[in-house]
Every structure is written in C-alpha cells, then in structure tokens.
Amino acid sequence: MSIKNIQYLHEHPIWLIQSAEGVRYAASDRVDLRSDTVTQPTPGMRMAMAEAEVGDDVLGDDPTVIELQNRIANLTGKDAALFVPSGTMSNAIAIRAQTSPGDEIIAESHSHIYIYEGGGYAALSGCSIALVPGNRGIMQPEDVKRAIRKGDGSLGHYPNGSLVCVENTSNRGGGAIYSQETMDLICKIAKDNSCGSHLDGARMFNAVVATGTSPERMTRDFDTISICLSKGLGSPVGSVLVGSNETIRLAHRWRKMFGGGMRQAGIIAAAGIYALENHVERLNEDHLHAHKLADAINQMEGFAVDMKSVETNMVYIKTIDNDAQNVVEKLSEQGIDVLSIDESNIRVVTHLHITSEDVERTISAFSKLT
C-alpha cells in the first residue's frame, strides 16, 4: 500500500491511498473502524457538491433536492420523499407524522430509536414505547403482535399502539438482516391491528446488497422508510424519509417545526445523488472485509466472534477478559481506531475508506495483543 499526503480543494489535506482496490481517499493515515459515519466525501463527490444547482428547499424549489427525493421515492416505489439533515430526525418525523400524543410505538429493545435518539419519541411525539425482545436485533412477528396494546377494550388503561418500527440492518444486532418473510409478516400484523409500519433503514442498502433484494421489494409493505446517506454510502450529511403523499405532506410541517428546514440544500443533496450512483454496489466489498476481519480475530486467543452474526459491515468482538477499553487504547497506539460497546465488547465497522491492506494491518494489530 502506498500512502502520501496531498492537498485538495482549498488546501485541505487528505490522504491518497493506493491499494489493491484502487485509489481511496481518507482523512488521515489511521485505520478508523469506529463507524461508517466517519467517511469523508471523495473528490468526485466534492466536485458534484461544488457544481450542484441549488434553490431554496424550504420554498420547494431546489432542483437537486427535488431530484434526490424523486430518485429515492422511485427506488422504494413510494409516492414522495423528504430530505432531512439526519436519520434521527427522519425517524422522529416519521413517528410524529403517524402518531398522536399518548400513543405507543413498538420497537425492538436494542433499536436505535430506543437507545440512541435521546428519547425523541417521548419528547417530540408524546409517545410511550413497547419494547420487543429480539435475537441480534431481529423481532419475531408473534412477539410484535403481543406487544401491540390498544386503548379500546382496555377500559382506557392502555395507550394506543399505533406504529411498529423495524430496523434493517440492526445496529446493535451487529448488522443483522431481517428476512423478507419476517418483515412482510410484521407489516401485516401492524396493518391488521390498525398500526402504521416504519422502517429505520439507516443501513438498508447494506441489506439490499447482501440479499440481492431490490429496495422496492424490501420496503413494499412499510408505510414509511428512513434512508441514511451518510453511513455506508459515504455522504457527509443527510437522510431521506419516504412514504405516501399525505404522510410526506405532514412530514414537511414537522421538519420545519423540528428545525430541519434547509435553504440551498442542493449542495449536500448532490452528495446523496453521487452516493446512489457510485457507492451502493461497492458495499459488498465492506461486507467481505468485515468477514475477513471477523474470521481472523475469532481464531486469536483472547477474542471471540459469533461468525453467524457477521452478515454485513459490522463485527462485534468479545474480549474474553472483559477488558474492551484497554484493547481500544492498545489498538489506538498502533493507529487503529475502534469502539468499545461495553466492558467486554468491541465494535468494528468497515466502510469505503477501508482497504484490504487496512484489514491486514488491523488483523496484525489485534494479533500483537494476544
């Protein structure tokens, strides 16, 4: 691997990495496996952003935002889409647009909506949450059915369960993928019980690439879908919420109220369009890198990986001595950045800046700790 520091666009330093996969660009010469959110725009993406045609998106006339929204709506087979700053906001808007204060949403017990979004379902939508136990973040339809409570018939004791939320892939599940049959059944249960269904598809395209299922088929039965552009797809910012015309009409109002209205947003929407055109199919490379890392580390003394759980671009590594933070610090000294999830588990996430040479460098760093 050949690395050299170069200057690009307004003298911002980036790293040119020549590897077996070709030329890659990163923020430094460190191997950053903390998340797929650490990616930075490639030169091609930066150029697309610089050349983007823009308008005022709050007034609805930014042509690049309109193009991005139309593309995502068409990909998922839904009526309309709305560009928002983040996946957390997209989920929050979806909940607010499909529930009433005092309602209850249904989600897996380790879901992003429950753990990582600041209790927004309660603070912004006035909802309680029914938590469903899952296996690696995957809920079973019968458990979802049992979790749905209705005010009617309960003498007013229960909240009204009104929205079922599914996360595919599952972050805390190590990138686990729902089967299409399971998602279809969950959506049917939601509909049969007068609930909406929302897909938190922050890493949906990882599932699309891994399974070979089209986005339209994967999302067919969901009422709303949140799709993040700034994780595996490599955009610097932005998510898109898709759904029916009526839901997206309501979502416009909530986006404004939540502070998500943006003006000349075409500059960042252009990055999303570039990502859709250039960074989807290559996600399979991230999956192969993750599996290679997992397989090698699992064979080392002091570490364990559930190989069946490595389905996409995430690897959860158990430290046998429950010393995850110490491992994180030792790896950092070797130029490898990872995250500790708790006292015994480390998360590694591959992405578009990670090369095959980076994988070998990471394996070597782990081996020095055994």
Class of domain 49-278: alpha beta
Name the band, by pLDDT with cuts 50, 70 and 90, for residue 10: very low
Cβ contacts of 303-307, under 8 Å, gap ≥ 24:
303/366, 303/370, 306/174
In tens, the pLDDT along 12-53 reads 555 555 555 455 566 678 999 999 999 999 999 999 999 999
Structure tokens at 317: 């590594």
- Asked whether the domain spanning 49-278 has the same topology as the one spanning 2-32+282-367, the reply is no
pTM here is 0.92
Q: Residue 45: what residue type?
A: M
All structural domains of the chain with their residue ranges: 2-32+282-367, 49-278
Q: What is the pLDDT of residue 168?
A: 98
Report the SS3 class of residue 150: coil
Determine the topology of domain 2-32+282-367 in CATH.
Aspartate Aminotransferase, domain 1 (3.90.1150)
Look up residue 15 and give its two tokens.
């790293």
pLDDT digits (tens, 9 = 90+) for 64-108: 999 999 999 999 999 999 999 999 999 999 999 999 999 999 999
β partners of residue 48: none
Is the Cα dihedral 255, 260, 265, 267 positive or negative?
Answer: negative
318-360 pLDDT, tens digit each? 999 889 999 999 999 999 999 999 999 999 999 999 999 999 9
Rounded to 10 degrees, the C-alpha dihedral 288/293/295/299 comes to: 170
* Number of Cβ within a 10 Å radius of residue 340: 18
